[in-house]
Amino acid sequence: MRIGELAAAAGTSTKTLRFYEDQGLLPAPDRTPAGYRDYRPDVLSRLDFIRRGQAAGLTLAQVKQVLDIRDDGQAPCAHVRDLLDERLAEIEYQLRSLTVLRDTLTELREAAIPVRPDTCGPDQVCRYV
Amino acid sequence: MRIGELAAAAGTSTKTLRFYEDQGLLPAPDRTPAGYRDYRPDVLSRLDFIRRGQAAGLTLAQVKQVLDIRDDGQAPCAHVRDLLDERLAEIEYQLRSLTVLRDTLTELREAAIPVRPDTCGPDQVCRYV
DNA sequence: ATGGACCTTCCAGTACAGGGGAAGGTCAAG
DNA sequence: CTTGACCTTCCCCTGTACTGGAAGGTCCAT
């Protein structure tokens, strides 16, 4: 399987595949005599795992950690659980921050509905912010 | 006022002040004969506006738009309202995405509580992701 | 005159996940 | 024989808001 076919099959780009290899997420594939990358079909499931990891909000570096453990012959379950915990905590934090920001912005926005440039003092940039 | 004093007064760094000047958020100040930046105290309120804009989730580029309008002698109210609208829509979108992600992750996490490496098939990387 | 604190410019790098494009090699079809 | 599609490596670019550091100039006190 050449890189273009793999990219098409996986729904990604050749650039991305070379990038993943460079980052250690994909093992270096065999090469044809001409030097072309020659993939075995089972990298597709690996790519699928990478995508699921990303969909779960993990960074490529974190996905790589899991793959490394797995490649080492161990079960990454515990590590995965910790990663999910970490990510979950981050998300909760982001959710709280965004909610506060949304409420602040909504207030500002409400105040800005009656646009009254005349009430902007020359000393200030904007009444609303 | 030299750049160090201004930075201290505004609670920021000299690096940031030069960066803002470079990005067009602060006007180029006068210079002392030695070439040192010599600020007028009124930039403090401008810096304050920048900080409020950032706190409202606007990017520096957006804050600059508002300042440019203001510097042009116009009232930026309408533009500010539009920016707030835009930002608000983005935040709502992020909130929805994060909520979905959190729920997905929570499910994965729950499934991962009983860590059972034995149930990981050798063909898959991880039962949980 | 010398040390230290301050200032100047410019260059480079951070994190993230790739994308763009150049210069050149390879392969099958017409 | 040439065209076009594919492949290779290489390096730089994206966006965001700065931060670090080098090399050198200035000011004030000692």
Residue B51 domain-assigned (yes or no): yes
Residue A124 domain-assigned (yes or no): no
Query: Which range, of A124-128, B21-25, B118-122, averages the lowest pLDDT?
Result: B118-122
Judge whether residue A94 contacts strand C, using its CB and a 7 Å cut-off.
no
Q: How far apart are CA A18 and CA A28, in angstroms?
A: 9
Q: Which residues of B touch A67 (CB under 8 A)?
A: 125
What is the token pair recorded at A12? 């990604």
A101 → chain B, closest CA residue: B56
Q: How far apart are CA B4 and CA B36, in angstroms?
A: 10
pLDDT tens-digit profile of A71-91?
988 877 888 888 888 888 889
pLDDT score at A1? 95
Judge whether residue A122 contacts strand D, using its CB and a 7 Å cut-off.
no
Domain residue limits at A23: 3-112
**pLDDT exceeds 70 at position B120:** no
**Tokens 């760094």 sit at which residue?**
B13
pLDDT score at A20? 97
Q: Which of B53, B85, B93 is nearest to A106 (CA)?
A: B85
pLDDT tens-digit profile of A14-71?
999 999 999 999 999 999 999 999 999 999 999 999 999 999 889 999 999 999 999 9
Residue A118 domain-assigned (yes or no): no
Q: How far apart are CA A14 and CA B127, in angstroms?
A: 28
Residue B49 domain-assigned (yes or no): yes
Residue B129 domain-assigned (yes or no): no
Residue type, A57: G
pLDDT tens-digit profile of B52-85?
999 988 999 999 999 999 998 887 788 888 888 8
Q: In chain B, positions 1-40, which contact chain A (CB-CB < 8 Å)?
A: none
Contact B36, B19 (CB under 8 A): no
Looking at the structure of chain B, the number of domains it has is 1
Q: Give the CATH number of the domain where residue B14 resides.
A: 1.10.1660.10
Residue A19 domain-assigned (yes or no): yes
B95 → chain A, closest CA residue: A95
- The predicted model scores a pTM of 0.82
Secondary structure of chain A in the HEC alphabet? CCHHHHHHHHCCCHHHHHHHHHHCCCCCCEECCCCCEECCCCHHHHHHHHHHHHHCCCCHHHHHHHHHHHHCCCCCHHHHHHHHHHHHHHHHHHHHHHHHHHHHHHHHHHHHCCCCHHHCCCCCCCCCC
The verdict on a CB contact (< 8 Å) between A128 and B81 is: yes
The strand pair at B37-38 and B30-31 is best described as antiparallel
pLDDT score at B109? 81
* Surface-to-core class of residue A34, CB atoms within 10 Å of its CB (0-12 exposed, 13-18 middle, 19+ buried): exposed
Q: Which residues pair with A38 in a beta bridge?
A: A30
Q: Which residue is nearest to nucleotide D17 (CA to C1')?
A: B60
pLDDT band for position A120 (cuts 50, 70, 90)? low
**C1' (C16) to CA (A122) span, angstroms:** 42
pLDDT score at B116? 63
